[in-house]
Structure 1
Amino acid sequence: MSGELVDGPRERTALLGPVDVRALAGRLGVRPTKTLGQNFVTDAGTVRRIVRRAGVGPEDVVLEVGPGLGSLTLALLEEAAGVVAVEVDPVLAAELPRTVAARRGADEAVPPRLAVLGADALRVGPEDVLGAGAGTPTALVANLPYNVAVPVLLVLLQRLPSLRSALVMVQAEVAERLAAEPGSRAYGVPSVKAAWYGDVERAGAVGRTVFWPAPNVDSGLVALRRREPPASTAGREAVFAVVDAAFAQRRKTLRAALAGWAGSAARAEEALRAAGVDPGLRGERLDVAGFVAVADAGHDVLGLAAPAGRDVLPG
């Protein structure tokens, strides 16, 4: 894991356009890959809209995942006190400080700070981010790689409680699932787990033409505002275990879907009734408070222990 710290001015910057992105990628010999979920934003208006919607200011240190060639990074540095950028591609991670230095110029008055971590965001720990030298992150703002968007969001919210907000660009279908309400077609594991950490809402749509290469799907912005998690005697790991079990067989009633979790359908019904939940309901009818009530009943009534070492990743 590598890290590099760069200073730059808080002033309007010459952001990257379509010609700049292609030229920079060509000079580096970079070909966007689906494996790393690389679709580079080429429209300055789009990245400035993302920064405005994120609401970051001079008191914020932003965590950015997948900065790529630096389109969003440059716009973030116009507003934030600092940026910690996590980039898994070693070529792009090495080039990002040079791009920022070249684009922001040498005449400095108030230098925000950029720290670049060459690492996989799913493997980055709090000590890596906090030790990068740009400060304690308060906001996550990122064009997340589509193939790992939900795991990255949930893992970072869990590992970095200092994050007060998040604004992420993801595949439109994923944006719908993250912000879905109970009872809706899109409601599922990502919806409930994201709601554990905060209040989630759709924050706009992003067309395909602002990317290079253009993806085969539309994109959407999702905003999350952190709040205290629900009070639970069982704890987050136990609640997430119930969520995973409930949606593993989402067409089944909760009595049937939770039989494996509880030990039998009869024990599942006992926990559900103790939680005040109709055993004949399906998982998509419960909000996060309902899942907490079921997990707590499993803990308090059935004596179920939380799975040891369970991560936040969706099932």
Structure 2
Amino acid sequence: MSILVGTASWTDPTLIKSKRFYPSGCNSAEARLRFYASQFPIVEVDSSYYSMPNGSNSVLWVERTPPHFVFNIKAFRLFTGHQTPRDMFPKDMQAALPQNGKANLYYKDIPDAIRDELWRRYLEAIAPLHDAGKLGAVHFQFAPWVTSGPDGHTHVAHCADRLPPGYRMAVEFRNRSWFDEAHTESTLAFERERGLVHVVVDEPQGGANTIPAVWEVTGDDLALVRLHGRNHETWNIKGATASSERFNYDYNDDELAGLAEEIRKIAAYVAQTHVLFNNNYEDQGQRNARTLMSLLGGTVVSNAV
């Protein structure tokens, strides 16, 4: 078994501005990725949630990282049921979008032909990562209103059917109904049946758009843990201009030691475990990731030089 620890994004503005992770003179996109990949074996690409990914970038990412470096990439927000502003669609497709007077569109609003083209472009853009053996999982973070009812199951299964053979789909829910007392076992069974990677989350608890940490695996190849921090005050903050405002949390050593114990347990059941810190304010995630790597010791994979 092996455990890969990294962070969500390597280009957050607050991280760069803090000047506490990247060395002096590390100012270009290429230099930052090369340095990040010298420190950690995995990263999560979050930009692909906000807009369609770019195949040219995927080629550059392959070239700028070591042979066994791994990218987990988030699914485009439309696919996961989120509201999607018109300007987040590819520019050449915007004129063909439904003219229904709405500023935001949802998956159900989009004609089949446009959906098909969006899926085609998305998969074409991430193919260089897959072809190079550097694509870990395609991460679907479903909207809070995607519930565990029949429509929710149908949509998740639809997304799974859209991915080609050999692509791993990781599933993170943001509606508590998937993992309440009545549905936890059926949700895990659904994930196992469809070959979906269950995402274990650590996040503030109490709201309808939070789920508990369910330390289970749904296959023998991959486990995925995402650590969002435990900041209750900012989880549902209104008017945030960047995700780092929501996930401003610095794990202490005792919290990380407790997480390391749980991670070791599930890692024993799978070939590889991915652990990604999404507390992306300044260098919190990078510092916490380094501490966790030390706590995990011999089972962790590192690119540190």
Q: What TM-score, normalized by structure 2, do the two folds share?
A: 0.31
Whose relative contact order is higher, 1 or 2, with alpha carbons under 8 Å and at least 6 apart?
A: 2
Q: Return the index of the structure with the highest Cα Rg.
A: 1
Q: What TM-score, normalized by structure 1, do the two folds share?
A: 0.31
